[in-house]
Each structure stands twice: as C-alpha cells, then as structure tokens.
Structure 1
Amino acid sequence: MKTIKTLASAGLVAALAATGAAAQEVNTEVSGEISVWTWPNNDRTFEALMPAFNEVYPNVTVDVQGYPSGNNVYLNTLQRALMSNSGPDVAMIEIGMIAQLRDRDQFADLRDAPFNAGAMADQFTDFAWENVLGADGQVAAVPKHIGPGGLFYRADIWEEAGYDTDPEAMAELLSDWDALLEAGKQVAAPNERWIIGSGEEIVRSYLAQNGLSYFSEDGTHNFDHPVMIEAFDLVGEFAEADLISPFSAWTPEWQGAFARGQFASVIYGNWMGGLLKRAYSTEDAGKWRVTFAPAAPNGVRAFNMGGDYMAVLAGTDNPEAAWAFVTFVVSDPASLEQQYQQDDLYPAFAPATESDWINFADPYYGGQNVNEFFAEVQEKLVPLTLHPLDSIAQSAMQTAVDNVVRGVMSPQEALAQAKEQVEARL
C-alpha cells in the first residue's frame, strides 16, 4: 500500500477549509483499476464524472456497472455477491437498503485506515450520516445525496387547463391534497393523462410528511397506523377520480408515459429531475417546473424521498483507489456541482449547500431556480426511521397501491394484504 502524501484535491481542500474543517489527505498518484456497482441513472452520472475525476486521479480506471433497480434486482445481485465474498470494489446502497446491509462484515469499516472517514462525519447532513452507522458504530458507507421532495409538473399541460403555472402560484393552488384532487380533475383526461404517475408517490410522500416510517424504532410495523390508513384512503380517492395512471412505477410503460406527455405531474425526491433530463423526458426541456408538494393535514409539505450511499467492500484489492473515487464523488465541488446541475442530485455533503452553483437558472425548468424550493424542504423535512425490512415493506406497499389504483382491491383490503406480507417476514 502506498504512503498517503499530503497532496490534496484543490476542490476538496477549498470546500472543507471554507467550513473550518480539516481537509483529508489524499494521494493523487494512486493507481489501478476499480469496479463500481450501481443502478440507472447513477451509472450515467458516474460515467459523466470520469473526465473530472481523472483530472485529479489520472492513474485510476473505473469500471462502472449498472443493474436495474426495479423488483430488487440490484439489491439481490449485491447480496449474492456479498454471500460469495465477491462483487465490486465500490457498491452503491440506496436508502431503503442501508439498514439491511450496514452491519454486513463484507463492507469495510470506513473508520479504519486508509479511509479514516470519521474525520468527515460532521460534514454530512446529520440524518444521512446516522444512517450509515452500524450496531457497533462502524461506518459502513458515506452519504452521497439526499432526497428533498416536491411536485414536478408540466407547465404547458397545466397552463392549457387554464392555471397560472408560476411555481409560487402553483404552490398556492395545490396547497393540500384535497386541492390537488380538485384541480387535477380539470387537468386529467380519462385513459390518456393523469396528474399522479403511481400511487406510491402519494403514500411515500404522505407518510414522510407525517414523520411515519414503515417501522417504528422498536421494530413494530406501522401498517395499522392511522396515517398509513389515511394514505391508502387518499390513494383510493385519487384512483376513483381517475387521476393516477394504471402503470406500476419503474416499469417500461410508466417510463414511456413521461415522453408521451401522459403525466401532468409527479411527486418525488429531487433526484427525479435527473431521470427526466437524461432518460424519461429528454425532449421536454423548458416544460417542467417544481413546486412544493401538497400539505398533509398537519400543514407539513416537506418530505425526504430517497438518497443513497457509497460503500467500499472489505475484499477490495485497492482500497486507496476505491476511497479516492468515493471521496471525490461525495465531496469534491466539481463532482457535486456536475451531479446537481446535470442530474438534480442534492448533496448530502453539507458545505455544498452554501455554494453559489446550487442556485442557478436551470434551462430544463424554464429558467427556474428549483433550489428555492428544495432548500426549504431540506431544512424542514423529518428523517424517517430505517429498518432492515424496509425493502420488503416498500415492495408490499407498492403492490398494494397498484391493486387499489386498478380497482382490484379496496384500500382496506390492499392494506391488509400488505400487512400480511410484511408480518410473514418478521
């Protein structure tokens, strides 16, 4: 292993120095090839970062492999690799997987040399850092981005329906879920256009606005909780009004509906913008805007949906190169600016939120500075409690809401089915 030299990336040093933090020493002469596993759209994000990364680390080659995220394909692929002590040098971990994976000893403890990640702990959003800590305090990964959420809408479609599509005006119009329901009836077209892409958008955002996770801190599931019942009832109301598309989220039909102009709006985390720009709605630059999601009965509009982390596998043959890539992606200003402006990835690295580049007139959003909304959401959101069975609960929830939307089950029946599926795994 090479001795780490006091030769740091100028970007990283500047970012940390601006906050009074000590910059980590990095070895820009590290060399070798590493492999990275992730999912779409992160594979494109990483490929796009290679020129900037190799300006700092010219002797490191990164092989990026993207696996589908739907139906737990990526999670299952990674778990099989961990069980056989194989896999990549660096692995992405989505927020719904982190509680399930963070205690696996196949991941390097990033407190140890040559990583020394503890020196960066106070530079990340608090809840994102807490999510990576294992039962014994080990650091299983470092946060990459978080997911402050909002309502993405097609200004041209809402304008055709007669509405003022300025983001502030839309925030006032869609002040709560009832308001979205009523306004949506004027925008949706039966079997042609919807204002919600999938019922999961309603459940996930509504739960988060109310601070309700799939599981409580004591491990008890919340599928009997009044807020969960309210969320499913809300799906039922929107479905009865034909405001939710019949497509399951993340399927080819659902993805294609964006390009066909069939979704007037969707409710997701900040990262959805990257998928719109690079994959789902590439020909619609200038048409999309962002505003706050409708408020829950408690008045809260803010929520977090999503976020991810980067882990180094304990079996890597080149921990220095792996760590160089990880720290560059999650903390280097050039990396974070590119990820935010091109892929709408909101940094978990706290000093970045004070950067000038996070506030800009984005041509994809018709010149809107979307951070005027997401910065406020990030400040007000309530972090959720994570549980090892989150991916199971998420899958059960998604199946249940699809059944409600398609009229296969009532909200009560679908929720009971989801509860049964989750309890079978407890």
Structure 2
Amino acid sequence: MLAMSMATLVARPVFAQGTPMAVDPELSATISVWTWPNNDRTFTALMPAFNKVYPNITVNVQGFPNANSNYLNTVQRALLSGSGPDVAMIEINELALLRQRPQWVDLAAEPFNAGPLLEDFAGFAAENVKTDNGKIVALPKHTGPGAMFYRRDIFDEVGLSSEPDAVADTFATWDAFLSEGSKMIVPNERWMIANGLEILTVRMGQAGIGWFDADGNLQLDNPVIIDALDLIDQAGKAKLISPFSMWSPEWQSAFGKGQIATIMSGNWFGGLLKRAFAPNDAGKWGVSPVPADENGSRSWNYGGDFIGVLNTSKSKEAAWAFIHWLVTDDESLKQQYQNDDLYPAYLPAGSADWINFEDPYYGGQNVNTVFAEVQRTMKSWPLNTHDRLAGDAVQVAVDNVAKGVETPEQALETAEKRIMARL
C-alpha cells in the first residue's frame, strides 16, 4: 500500500484536474492578510464589496513598510517560524526568493484546483507562480505592462505632435529616441527621461532576459545589456537624463514641475502621476509604446505582485475565497484600477468598460489600447533570488555611465565584481 501511495504521488499530474473550488457564500471565518502600503489601504476599501459576496468572512489587513525590506523580512521570519497570517502577498522581485518555501499552500492541489484557473491570467505571470514540480504558490494579482508616459504640452512646445499615434511613430526606434529626445532639452532645467535605468529595464524586458540566465549564471555580458549601457552613455552625453536619483524628493517633484518630458514605466506609474506627483496636470500627459528593439518588440513588463495562502492558516477555505475574489472579481479589479491604476493580471478584465475609456487625465486617450497590447505580447524572463542584489549594483553602474564617471565597460565590470563579492 505504501509503495502504491508513493507511486501515486510521483505520478500526480502537474495540476489537479478538477474545477477551481467554489466557497459557500455563508462561510463564517476570520482571516489575516499581510501586505505593504498602499495595498493595505486598497484592501480595506474593498471590504464592503467583498462582504457583499461573503458577509460572514472578516478580513484583518496589516501593512508593513516596503515590499522589499521590512515586509519581506517579516514574511520570511514568519515562514521560518511556522507562524504568520492566513494570506500574504509577494512582490515580483521577491517571488524567486519566496516561492520555493514549503510553507505556501499548493493551490494546484485539491480542493483548490487552481491549475485551470491560471489559463485566464497573463502567461508570464501565471508561469512565475509555479515551481518546477507543478506547485502553485500564489495567484497573480497585478502586472506592470510598460509604456512611455509623455508630456503633451512639452511635445507641442518643441514642435512635435502630441497625439499618441504620432508619438508612437516618431519614437519608433531607439535612434529616434536619442535624436528627437534632444529637442526636449533645456540645459539644467528640463530633461527627456528621469533616469537611465529606464532604458536598461525596457531593453531587457523587450528581450525577455534577467540579470541571471535560466541556469542561474550572472549575465551582465549579455549583448542586450551591453547595448543598453551604450544607449545610456549616448543619452547621458546628450544631456537627455535628469540628474535626480530615483524616488528622491527632487525626482518625484520634477514631474509636476514639467522638468521631465517622458518616463518609461509600468502602467501603475499613472496612479502616482494622478494622485501624488502631478495631480493638477490633467490633460497634459499621454501614453505611447516605448521604442522597438531590433526584433520589433515594444512590449515589456515593469512590476507585478501575487497573493497566496500559508499552510499555517486555520481558515484555508476563507483565505482562498478572499484571494480568488480579489484577483478575479470584476468589482474588485475595477476598484483597484480606478483607485490605484493597478493593472489586472486576469485577462478577462482587459475588455471591461471600466478599463477601456477616454481618460481625461490623458487628454481623452484610452490608454488601455497601449497596455492591453503590451500585456498580450510581453515576454517572460528568468527570476532569480539574487535579482535585487544585481539590480542595486547595476543601478550604480547606470548612474555612473549617465554621468560620465565610467564607460559602459568599466561600469559593468565594477558591478559584476560587487555582485560576485556578495553571492
């Protein structure tokens, strides 16, 4: 019998073949959810809608600062100690680090049967939540389809059309990005882009490569990365790149002051523009695809998050009810998009009226015509547990190249030494 049981385990299919679990709307339970700002505020605001479906499930939300520091450390301690919440979120840059932990409930198994459900999510996000043995550790919540946000008023001022289709044509290539971008520059007052790292992350995302290859080898010598550093070098010499450090007060305020003509970022950046960086600039911004790479790709992902259930949960059915509702329910996704510009990983939401509308902040543009195509065509890339370490080292390299402190070759060599010394 033991041998037969072991054979059954070994032969278990990658996904359970049943339909995803439906939870009794009258289920009564209390669950705890850990996340980071502003998801804690978002989840709390969603509770009235959730309780219309599950009136007897109480959700206690707790937020910990910064997904990659305090929150990450708190979750890791909980996993190691066998404690923690019923539900926890995972930021995309920490997914490789956390998904191998055995403390996550396998959502592919009975009674959850999430395997078939993953077919309804963006492919690269669905692929990332699976381990090599077919375990599903979380459900995709949001993605970060990327584009170029641009100031319509600055484009008009320098004599370039500010209409989205025209901008897409004008900035169809990286050579055009450098030449046409130079028209935006006012020395020491206005720049084309906010930070050189934008160029590198776009180029890597278009090609579907990470800091490490699928075998875990650091690949700073990848031709795509080298080419991107050369582009940053050219952009720096042409004074296209602002001197502001990412996320610094000066960087944040530059968008509302009209000091930055464009920024290449995930769709969620629009939420920051609307509610924090440039709330009084309705009508001044537009969205266009980024310049194409040599293969014609203009799609890339920048950001994303996931949400899973811990084995220590005493209310796994209620925990499943919450995460399944959160990432698939139309009202949930609608409110998250309207309140925070969080782009659903759930593909059916892409055709909803609430995500396809003429947005007054963008001068009446339906920006989902850009983001939906990016989500449809964006590539996956290998995630690695040391991605953040590599990213931090390369950020220094990018800044040094942009400022002319180091050549691209010198900067990448320095970054590689820093990374290898800490691995």
1:35 aligns with 32
Alpha-carbon separation, structure 2, partners of 1:382 and 1:283: 35
Which amino acid is the alignment partner of residue 286 of structure 1? Answer: G
- TM-score, normalised relative to structure 1: 0.88
- TM-score, normalised relative to structure 2: 0.88
Note the alpha carbon deviations across 1:139-195, whole angstroms, 9 max, x for none: 111111222211011212222222210000111111112212222222132333222
| 2:396 pairs with 1:399 | yes
Alpha-carbon separation, structure 2, partners of 1:114 and 1:23: 8
1:150 aligns with 147
Choose which of 413, 418, 421 in structure 1 pairs with 2:415: 418
Note the alpha carbon deviations across 1:225-273, whole angstroms, 9 max, x for none: 1111111111121122222222222333322323333222110122222
Cα offset, 1:70, TM superposition: 7.4
| 2:104 pairs with 1:104 | no
2:278 aligns with 281
CA gap of 1:81–1:194, structure 2 versus 1, over 3 A, is farther
CA gap of 1:363–1:116, structure 2 versus 1, over 3 A, is same
Which amino acid is the alignment partner of residue 191 of structure 2? Answer: W
1:249 aligns with 246
Cα offset, 1:204, TM superposition: 0.5
1:333-412 equivalences in 2 (<5 Å): 333-412=330-409
1:47-58 equivalences in 2 (<5 Å): 47-58=44-55
1:165-314 equivalences in 2 (<5 Å): 165-314=162-311
Alpha-carbon separation, structure 1, partners of 2:20 and 2:309: 20
| 2:42 pairs with 1:25 | no
Cα offset, 1:358, TM superposition: 2.8
Alignment coverage as a number of residue pairs: 406
Any conservation in 2 of the 1:114–1:319 contact (CA below 8 Å)? Answer: no
Q: Which one is further off, 300-309 or 347-356?
A: 347-356
Q: Which one is further off, 97-106 or 240-249?
A: 240-249
CA gap of 1:245–1:293, structure 2 versus 1, over 3 A, is same
Alpha-carbon separation, structure 2, partners of 1:61 and 1:279: 31
Q: What residue ranges of structure 1 are gaps of 5+ in the alignment? A: 1-20
SS at match of 1:341: helix
Alpha-carbon separation, structure 2, partners of 1:162 and 1:367: 21
SS at match of 1:144: strand
Alpha-carbon separation, structure 2, partners of 1:328 and 1:271: 21
Any conservation in 2 of the 1:173–1:179 contact (CA below 8 Å)? Answer: yes
| 2:90 pairs with 1:93 | yes
CA gap of 1:49–1:157, structure 2 versus 1, over 3 A, is farther
| 2:325 pairs with 1:328 | yes
Alpha-carbon separation, structure 2, partners of 1:170 and 1:394: 30
CA gap of 1:321–1:301, structure 2 versus 1, over 3 A, is same
Any conservation in 2 of the 1:70–1:250 contact (CA below 8 Å)? Answer: no
Alpha-carbon separation, structure 1, partners of 2:72 and 2:413: 26
SS at match of 1:285: coil
Cα RMSD over matched residues? 2.3
Alpha-carbon separation, structure 2, partners of 1:34 and 1:254: 39
Any conservation in 1 of the 2:122–2:376 contact (CA below 8 Å)? Answer: no
Cα offset, 1:207, TM superposition: 1.1
1:8 aligns with none
1:315 aligns with 312
SS at match of 2:406: coil
CA gap of 1:196–1:66, structure 2 versus 1, over 3 A, is farther
Q: What residue ranges of structure 2 are gaps of 5+ in the alignment? A: 1-17
Alpha-carbon separation, structure 2, partners of 1:246 and 1:148: 26
